[in-house]
Structure 1
Amino acid sequence: MNEYIYPLNSGIEFAEFKRLSLFKQMNVPAKLVTRMFNPQLHRFIADLPINDESIINMFDFFQDAVNLTPKKALIADAKINPEYEVSPDSTVSKSYKGDRLVNRIIFMAGTYGQLDTVEYFDRYQNLTKAEVWDWRGFKSCTKYYDINKHLIHEEYFNTQGSPVLEFGYSNVDSNPENITFIQLTSRDGYKRYFENIDELFTYFLQQLDQSSNEPNTFIADRPLSTYAPVLALSNETRKFIYLPMLQTDSKYSLVDGALDEIYTQAFKPENLAKLTGIIVATEQQKLDIERRVKGQVAVYALPAATIEDQLPKIEGVRKNQIIFAGRLGNGKGITRLVDVFKIIHNHETGLVLKICGYGNVKDDAKKAVEKAGLKDVVKFEGYLKPTELISEYFSSKLFVTTTEQDVEPLAMTEAAACGLPLCAFDVAYGPAEIINDGKNGILVSDGHNQELADRIVKLIRNPTLLQNMSDDARKGVTRFMNSNVSQMWKEQIVNR
């Protein structure tokens, strides 16, 4: 269970993609379930390691648009009044009644005339409504606005054009907290009302659960949006929650520290009793959670970071560069990485640091790079597709992360599979379960920037040791291969 899928995804989504691959390998039917409205969802999927058959979205479900054969909606489908004069454009066409703008016809970026949104304006040039078209070629939603351009009402349609969902909003904005009502019209014409999106999502999951004649297993991955709806399912349904982040608000009080607020509701005794189990990515986190829940619920450690059974063939030439890949977010230590690299650069001036990823601290990291005078040797590559990232791994000598916390860095296993020794601080939880210090990488105490930098410099200057660590990195990562992790899933979850 997740909230959304976008072109740029986090570790939670990529862990789900890997999990779906495992289930497919095990011949276990599985789907990734999302709840947010996204008319271009199935466009994004084409660039991800999943397909339409492996995902089901709440709006698709109610709109009878699951496994829909796509077509292209063009300007003719918008049914613009033929008496209006159309000013054509490849991005936004406009229709006029005399000299008055009536419509803006917006096309999807990167397409030739495929409808995205058709906007309607009144005689005073106020936006009154906008028709939103699905990537697969049907009018999916109409949004209505008041005179101040505030969204006040939405209608969602099935593929035949009949309204199936309505959302009402207070005239402030379209924030989910300002929903005044949701109306769902079923196929038999029966109307159901919900107060918020959480209630609708809970009902959706119940419908999914009831649509199968076999017992279902639900795994909730996003704490704030999926835990409560999954907990509300029937007692006969197997229900797991996955912990994507540290369970406490302090990385030094992992067993008895105050729970992070995203977990407090699920960890209440009455809710733990509803669960089949809690899933985490590492053995150490499993031990800490078991000490916290004291036998109230089973806890399972199942690696989120998995790789193909066939390791990638080493290709290309290792450049004089080291690499980090991951989300550039709080807790990832990106500016600390710049500090460590500055020490390294004092000894290895020709070495380049590649930072691959996106996130809210990118600007801060760039400022730190400029302040340190490293602009010429620190390169921000942004978000890379998997094939592009593998190419960067093959071009690098080391993978370095200075994350302050991470339940299991997925990029580390992928980098190791490409023969990169791994360098990190010993923080909760993932690095210590992947790095064997001195064998397949470098692991130092948290915050010891100088030690990490000094050891990286020595490693870079010792080609024999670097090659030995590269070989050990590929050997050590075999325990994360799909065949090994799928066996763990069979034994602990699927066949129980």
Structure 2
Amino acid sequence: MLLFLNDNLQRNQSGIEHAQIKRLNLFKKFNQPAKIVTRQYSNELHLVVEAAGIKDQDFINLFDYFQNACLVPHRIVKLQDLHLNPKWKRKADGISYNYYDGKTRVMYVRRRNDRDRSIINLQYFDHFGKLLKVVWYDNRGFASVEQLYDWNGQIAVENYLRPDGQLALQKVNFKDRRQQKATSYHLFNWRGQDWQFANFDELTRFFYDQLAVDPALNSDGPLGLVVDRVYELGWAVLNMHHRVFRVMQLHNDHVNNPNDMLHSTLNYNYQWGLDHLKDWDGIIALTPQQQADVQARFGKQGVKIYRIPGPIVADEVLAAPHVDFAKRQRDLVVMVARLSPEKQQDHLLQAWPKILQQVPDAQLELWGYANDNFDQKLKAQVSAEQIENSVTFCGYTTDVNAVYERAQLLILPSRAEGLPLSLVEAQSHGLPIVANDIKYGPADVVIDQRDGLLTENGDIDGLAQAIISLLTNQTRLAEFSAHAYQDSARYSAANVMKLWNELLDDMPKEVAD
């Protein structure tokens, strides 16, 4: 079984999370055992998991695991289930309630804005009005964690509870001898013992060690770990006490200067992992070019470098009817990516006035959530260039396929990538592409002059002219669309699974000691 390790799973998912989910579905299709594993806590985690199309049995979270709550029957906890003091007076606050003992507020009950009005948390107050404790309810219907506050209003202790109410894990926040913030963790009655951990990484390492020897996970053979967030999780994996097969997944350019692959400083997301390269059993690069570049720089260390793309085109997508190009919205251009400096939406906006001069009816939609308020900079740029009537910030969507099937052209002017999921997804829905020819990915998806155009990074005029040349030649654009449908088959499930099989064949056959 392969475990795909991530730090967290949130509602707004990056390309890494989307790639993990596609990979999980690929393994399920070919009856290969696999699960996604995360370590961060959220009382609504399983709402996110469900929305992502992941079944609980295909997912393990650190807190769920130690709380004995990986698979819990869902129940709805409502107001009447709390059995509050009938003498308390209740005052509505929207769909939630404040409770008073005389004139003193003693509790606030926060409810979820859904059909059932289920309980999110209970907030307890002392007679001075200070917050004492918050009890959070897992969305599956049990009190999951209680947070105890100090006199300064800071969380001092977090007690994570099992569904039967027993204490599973305690997190203590304190200041060390240098008055720096620190945490410790105490795991109670786990396999008949109590355990103490100095920090979250040590707890994570212990978690992975428990998975490595868990009989329920080793019934089909030994575990292998694919680490999708090396910066966050690499230390815990490489310091496990049980030796398991472990590979590091590169999701992006591994260096900071793609013009000097042999000597450039390393991308901080991968630096720690690459600095400890000999401790890995393999590295997964997304493209042949990245595989060759990693081999050229690190090959002498003897670690195998696999090439496995992250994007996967499902069979049902390949078999779906093609959108009649005439029914696409004329001159609609889209970009689907995080709003972030490395994606260079600002370059596209800089080119946009030039495009409007030749294609006055062109519309640009920017899809994706923002990093570090970069959207504010982009919106200011739109205002300064007076292009508000033709540019729309659409935010994050869970139905990106509808975007691809409505537009005529996708743009990706990034300065660095891995193998952009949006390019393969868009191509599989017949959307022609204009993308910068950078490391890595665009040239592995876009066949220049056949299903899209490759442009030079930083060439704003060239980017504008490429877009204009396609929007003003609808016949050529329709031909590119037809070719895009055909060319996306390179990333079919069967083709990608062949590459994973090479890695699976290299895994040891014995369970970890």
Q: Aligned pair 1:217/2:220, yes or no? A: no
Structure 2 equivalent of residue 391 of structure 1: 402
Q: Select the residue among 247, 260, 269 that pairs with 2:254.
A: 247
Instruction: Give the superposition deviation at 1:78.
Output: 3.2
User: What is the letter of the counterpart of residue 394 of structure 2?
Assistant: E
Instruction: Give the superposition deviation at 1:166.
Output: 0.6
Greater displacement, 435-444 / 292-301 = 292-301
Q: Select the residue among 188, 201, 205 that pairs with 1:202.
A: 205
Structure 2 equivalent of residue 286 of structure 1: 291
Tell me if structure 2 keeps the 8 A contact 1:144–1:152: yes
Structure 2 equivalent of residue 318 of structure 1: 328
Structure 2 equivalent of residue 263 of structure 1: 270
Tell me if structure 1 keeps the 8 A contact 2:206–2:240: no
Output the TM-score relative to the length of structure 1.
0.95
Tell me the distance in 2 between the aligned counterparts of 1:194 and 1:352.
54
Q: Aligned pair 1:428/2:439, yes or no? A: yes
Greater displacement, 479-488 / 306-315 = 306-315
Instruction: Give the superposition deviation at 1:288.
Output: 0.8
Instruction: Give the superposition deviation at 1:492.
Output: 3.5
Q: Select the residue among 14, 30, 34 that pairs with 1:30.
A: 34
Instruction: Give the superposition deviation at 1:249.
Output: 2.2
Instruction: Give the superposition deviation at 1:162.
Output: 0.6
User: What is the letter of the counterpart of residue 379 of structure 1?
Assistant: T
Tell me the distance in 2 between the aligned counterparts of 1:67 and 1:425.
45
Tell me if structure 1 keeps the 8 A contact 2:231–2:273: no
Which aligned pairs between 1:242-391 and structure 2 lie closer than 5 A? 242-268=249-275, 271-296=276-301, 297-310=303-316, 311=318, 312-315=320-323, 317-320=327-330, 321-360=332-371, 361-385=374-398, 388-391=399-402
Q: Given the superposition, is the C-alpha separation of residues 275 and 188 from structure 1 closer, same or farther in structure 2, using an over 3 Å criterion? A: closer
Tell me the distance in 2 between the aligned counterparts of 1:436 and 1:205.
42
Structure 1 equivalent of residue 171 of structure 2: 167
Tell me the distance in 1 between the aligned counterparts of 2:240 and 2:32.
21
Instruction: Give the superposition deviation at 1:189.
Output: 4.6
Aligned length: 488
Output the TM-score relative to the length of structure 2.
0.92
Tell me if structure 2 keeps the 8 A contact 1:90–1:107: no
Tell me the distance in 1 between the aligned counterparts of 2:7 and 2:498.
28
Tell me if structure 2 keeps the 8 A contact 1:145–1:151: yes
User: What is the letter of the counterpart of residue 472 of structure 2?
Assistant: R
User: What is the letter of the counterpart of residue 384 of structure 1?
Assistant: T
Moved over 6 A (4+): none
Tell me the distance in 1 between the aligned counterparts of 2:387 and 2:95.
39
Structure 2 equivalent of residue 112 of structure 1: 116
User: What is the letter of the counterpart of residue 304 of structure 1?
Assistant: G
Tell me if structure 1 keeps the 8 A contact 2:136–2:143: yes
Q: Select the residue among 470, 479, 491 that pairs with 1:468.
A: 479
Instruction: Give the superposition deviation at 1:234.
Output: 4.9
Structure 1 equivalent of residue 414 of structure 2: 403
1:438-483: CA deviation from partner (whole Å, max 9, x where unpaired): 1110002211111121122121111221111111111111110111
Q: Given the superposition, is the C-alpha separation of residues 319 and 462 from structure 1 closer, same or farther in structure 2, using an over 3 Å criterion? A: same
Structure 1 equivalent of residue 427 of structure 2: 416
Tell me the distance in 2 between the aligned counterparts of 1:253 and 1:140.
50
Q: Secondary structure of 2:40's match?
A: coil
Tell me if structure 2 keeps the 8 A contact 1:150–1:171: no
Please, what is the CA RMSD of the aligned residues?
1.7
Tell me if structure 2 keeps the 8 A contact 1:245–1:407: yes
Structure 2 equivalent of residue 227 of structure 1: 234
Q: Aligned pair 1:459/2:473, yes or no? A: no
Tell me if structure 1 keeps the 8 A contact 2:252–2:418: yes
User: What is the letter of the counterpart of residue 430 of structure 2?
Assistant: G
Q: Secondary structure of 1:466's match?
A: helix
Tell me if structure 2 keeps the 8 A contact 1:314–1:394: no
User: What is the letter of the counterpart of residue 310 of structure 2?
Assistant: A
Instruction: Give the superposition deviation at 1:23.
Output: 0.7
Instruction: Give the superposition deviation at 1:236.
Output: 4.1
Q: Select the residue among 446, 453, 464 that pairs with 1:442.
A: 453
1:345-398: CA deviation from partner (whole Å, max 9, x where unpaired): 12111010111111122111111111111101111111111xx32122111111
User: What is the letter of the counterpart of residue 365 of structure 1?
Assistant: L
1:386-413: CA deviation from partner (whole Å, max 9, x where unpaired): xx32122111111111111111110111
Q: Aligned pair 1:482/2:488, yes or no? A: no
Tell me if structure 2 keeps the 8 A contact 1:152–1:171: no
1:189-223: CA deviation from partner (whole Å, max 9, x where unpaired): 52110011110011001000110342110011112
Tell me if structure 2 keeps the 8 A contact 1:151–1:171: no
Tell me the distance in 2 between the aligned counterparts of 1:6 and 1:54.
16
Percentage identity across paired residues of the two chains = 28
Q: Given the superposition, is the C-alpha separation of residues 200 and 220 from structure 1 closer, same or farther in structure 2, using an over 3 Å criterion? A: same
Unaligned runs of 5+ residues in structure 2 are 508-513
User: What is the letter of the counterpart of residue 306 of structure 1?
Assistant: I
Q: Given the superposition, is the C-alpha separation of residues 235 and 75 from structure 1 closer, same or farther in structure 2, using an over 3 Å criterion? A: closer
User: What is the letter of the counterpart of residue 276 of structure 1?
Assistant: D
Tell me the distance in 2 between the aligned counterparts of 1:178 and 1:49.
37
Q: Aligned pair 1:237/2:237, yes or no? A: no
1:97-150: CA deviation from partner (whole Å, max 9, x where unpaired): 001100000012334321111000000000011001100000000001112211
Tell me if structure 2 keeps the 8 A contact 1:139–1:161: yes
Structure 1 equivalent of residue 511 of structure 2: none
Instruction: Give the superposition deviation at 1:495.
Output: 6.0
Tell me if structure 2 keeps the 8 A contact 1:408–1:429: yes
Q: Secondary structure of 1:346's match?
A: helix
Tell me the distance in 1 between the aligned counterparts of 2:389 and 2:454.
28
Instruction: Give the superposition deviation at 1:171.
Output: 6.8
User: What is the letter of the counterpart of residue 164 of structure 1?
Assistant: A
